[in-house]
Amino acid sequence: MAPLAEALASAAALVARVAAGRSLSAELQRVAEEGAESTSAERGALADLCYGTLRRYGRSQAIVAALSRRAGASDPLVEALLWCAFYALESGRYADYTVVDQATRACASIRPGAKGYVNALLRGFLRARPTLNTRLAADSVAHHQHPGWWIERARAAYPAAWQQVLAAGNMHPPMCLRVNARRITTDAYALRLAAEGIQAHRIGALALLLEKPVPVDRLPGFAVGEVSVQDSGAQRAAGLLDLRAGQRVLDACAAPGGKSAHILETADVALTCIDIDAARCADVARNLARLGLAAEVLTADCSQLGAWTEGAAYDRILADVPCSASGVARRHPDIKWLRRATDIEAFATRQLRILNALWRALASGGKLLYVTCSVFPEENDAVIDAFAAHMPDARRALLADGGPAQLLPCPEHDGFFFALLEKPA
């Protein structure tokens, strides 16, 4: 089978699994482990088709609904193949006739009986594309490429910016670097990038935004810990904690360890990293080892204090809590497919439970930084307000950098929320 046909067939299988409730990252990891002999180009083509297709939530489904004359339930695998082919057609990476031909060949390998249907639908799309685009623009879900409930929540939360928030969720994410100040200055590292032909510009004290994403093995000094990949929005956390040498610090939901590493690069503190997932704790340990940093890494539920605390309180706590990840949907487009409206309230309940537990582990005079990568107020200000309502000794402090609590996703950074809580001495 030709490379594009093979990639379309493989992508269709993965996208169908995601549509049925599986995680894209887990599926790509499984494929990588099973296909050890695949080339980087093949893996790249597969990832592009999967991510691109899943970012287009609602649009491809609407195209099939508009063009198909089939009655009854459709074959999920054939449907997913069509979605992938529509993305390939609109990506501009391939000639139209190539996509139609290769998608038809892919169908012949996975569902031979549907080959004529796929070919006819793709050709019908090419003929009807101008009028179809006008029709899709009037369909809110197809136009904004997000679930209807997500669109309504964004519109209610950000009357003047909801379309920006949704549009950001459909973009390719930026690639930003965090320079390890213990090893090299930001300006010096920028010069090293330039020498390698990698264009970047500085957008923060330690943040360099690349013009184009590159594989990490192309980054000079990455293997020896001179730099890490971390969104510039996420880089706010360490600076907001007011870290000082000698403090006991807890990163309560630490995986994969980017913020943990930044904490240790910022100050000589005694850091404990906790995550509920043992495999993700291993990721934390590997990331710290690459940077030559050390911390206590524990696999535990941070809301169950008795299972991991030894009694001594922490001077600083970072609570980067589990959330809807609605602020990073462009990095994890399967979120659009996997989340449900009822998940938001469930996350808020869990977030409040974590806050209540961690507050008991915070020393008098200490500070707790609550962080989400969500744009939904129900997980952000509403949780902080609910916590403060029954915890009168908690004081919400101003953020030291003077920035807003809510960062909305934009070309430079993802969407994040930050709230700093202080406990009286």
- Residues tagged active-site: 373
Distance of CA 121 to the CA centre of its chain: 33
Question: Which residue carries 């938001």 as its tokens?
Answer: 344
Q: Which residues pair with 224 in a beta bridge?
A: none
Structural contact between residues 79 and 64, judged by C-beta atoms closer than 8 angstroms: yes
Q: Would you give the distance in Å from CA 10 to the centre of its chain?
A: 23
Contact 132, 63 (CB under 8 A): yes
Query: What residues form DSSP beta bridges with 406?
Result: 417
